[in-house]
Amino acid sequence: MKSHRLAAGIGLLAMMFLGCGMAAAQGIKIGVVNFGRLLDEAPQAQASQRALQEEFAPRQRELRNREEELKGLEERLQQGEGFMGEEERRDLERQARDLQRDLNRGKTEFAEDLSLRRNEELGKLQRMLIGEVQGYGREQSYDIVMSEAAGVVYASTAVDVTDSILEALKSRFSAQGSGN
């Protein structure tokens, strides 16, 4: 799908160059943005990552505590081997098995919830970045701003607008306070 859009975009550019003549085509202003870099370096992305870490830290701590509790039960079973009564050993084994099952379920739920929230935040961030790039393209009178993710094979640093957009994002982040 992306390759079809890229081919169509390249075809459109080729028709523009052929139809307008080389002199007119030289007036087209094209920019290239690296969305991967924006997602990595934008302060809004970093703030979103920190917020997710803070949101899920209590559950992660709880899972670690339960892992330690399970490790303690397993150690008691090993240390008590030969000295522990049969009923006490069975109770500890049952507790360990139940705790392991709960821990596995908790880890699965944690991973699913974290993945869901991360995807929600990524979607919000992507929409914001697309809007920022579109606004930047309009404000700076670009005719075309392409994304490297869409398959640009070569782009000189002269047309890469990523640094400028990052500066705008940093300014907007500073002006907003925390960026959320």
Topology, domain 2-176: Protein Binding, DinI Protein; Chain A (3.30.910)
Q: Are 141 and 29 in contact (CB under 8 A)?
A: yes
Residue 115's pLDDT is what? 97
Work out the average pLDDT over 77-83. Answer: 81
What is the pLDDT confidence band of residue 49, given thresholds at 50, 70 and 90?
Answer: very high
Residue 2's pLDDT is what? 52
pLDDT at residue 157 is higher than 70 = no
Q: Domain ranges in the chain?
A: 2-176
Identify the residue with better confidence: 1 or 55.
55
Work out the average pLDDT over 118-131. Answer: 93
Residue 62's pLDDT is what? 97
- Angle (nearest 5°) at CA 164 between 159 and 168: 150
55-64, 124-133, 135-144, 167-176 — most confident range: 55-64
Q: Are 33 and 162 in contact (CB under 8 A)?
A: yes
3-35 pLDDT, tens digit each = 555 444 554 444 444 444 443 456 778 888 888
Work out the average pLDDT over 45-69. Answer: 96
